[in-house]
A and B are shown apart, each in its own frame.
Chain A
């Protein structure tokens, strides 16, 4: 009986020792694993991160340079073809300048009106200019991306109806575009019965593109 009891105590002590040894081994293993992972994290932060950072920076710059070279080449090709187009249209510069001059060119506007009127034997004795004309609602101002400016003219003519219609038609086909903003037609009270006439008041608008 006493021997059995002693054996039991010995076995319990041995089991406890084994359990403690096992716990200690697990503790050491977990600690080792944790420290190893922390070490790897530290190594990653202080060694791998700068390396990867440098590699990725270099790769990014190489890619960016490649894209830049491609885009530059495209742009150079576009510039070359634009240069060819530019040299082709150089001979038409006078026509473009006549169409949309850099300055208001009032004299040219007046000459245009006079020469067109002259074709229909209409004498323009007076041409007025409204230089403070603001062109906000016209087609040209709303459609054009460029900042064109305009001035309107005031013309009063006395002639027959057909000539006036032809005059307006001719004005709409001049090289320098003219937009007629308003037309007023009035029958003139003539003293002589044979000379029937119509009075026409037109406001042709001329455009120009000032240099910035």
Chain B
């Protein structure tokens, strides 16, 4: 009877270990997959900028009189 209990316990531990190992594998793989992408997305050097300049202000400046 004790022997059977021991083997059932062993089976339970084995199943939990297997689940844990697969979870660890999934977790590590996902982290390895996502981390470089996130690093690139948060990189300041790659952030886009707006190249459009408000040239209407320059026109307004040119229209104003220049006092010398």
Residue ranges of A at the interface with B (Cβ–Cβ < 8 Å): 23, 26-27, 30-31, 33-38, 40-41, 44-45, 48-49, 52-53, 55-57, 59-61, 63-64, 67-68, 71-72, 74-75, 78-79, 81-82, 85, 88-89, 92, 95-96, 98-99, 111-112, 115-116, 173-176
Contact = CB atoms under 8 A, between A and B. Distances in A.
Interface of B: 3-4, 7-8, 10-11, 13-15, 17-18, 20-22, 24-25, 28-30, 32-37, 39-41, 43, 46, 48-53, 55, 58, 61-62, 64-68
B68 A49 contact: no
Nearest to A40: B18
B21 to A, nearest CB: 5
B30 to A, nearest CB: 7
A95 B62 contact: yes
For the complex, would chain B's binding face be called helix, strand, loop or mixed by DSSP majority? helix
Contacts of B20: 41
Contacts of A56: 28-30, 32-33
17 contacts: A31-B7, A31-B10, A35-B14, A37-B15, A41-B20, A45-B24, A57-B33, A60-B32, A60-B34, A63-B33, A68-B46, A85-B53, A89-B55, A92-B62, A95-B58, A112-B67, A175-B65
A166 B58 CA distance: 25
A75 B32 contact: no
Nearest to A117: B67
Contacts of B11: 30, 33-34, 37
Given A44-B21, A67-B37, 13 more contacts: A34-B11, A53-B32, A56-B28, A56-B29, A56-B30, A67-B40, A71-B40, A72-B46, A75-B48, A82-B53, A85-B51, A89-B53, A95-B62
Given A30-B11, A57-B32, A96-B58, A115 B68 contact: yes
Contact of A45 (B10, B21, B29, B40): B21
A68 to B, nearest CB: 5
B64 A173 contact: yes
- Main secondary structure on A side of the interface with B: helix
Contacts of A31: 7, 10
A45 to B, nearest CB: 5
A41 B32 CA distance: 21
A76 to B, nearest CB: 11
Given A27-B3, A27-B7, A174 B28 contact: no
Nearest to A112: B67
A99 B61 contact: yes
Contact of A41 (B3, B18, B33, B37): B18
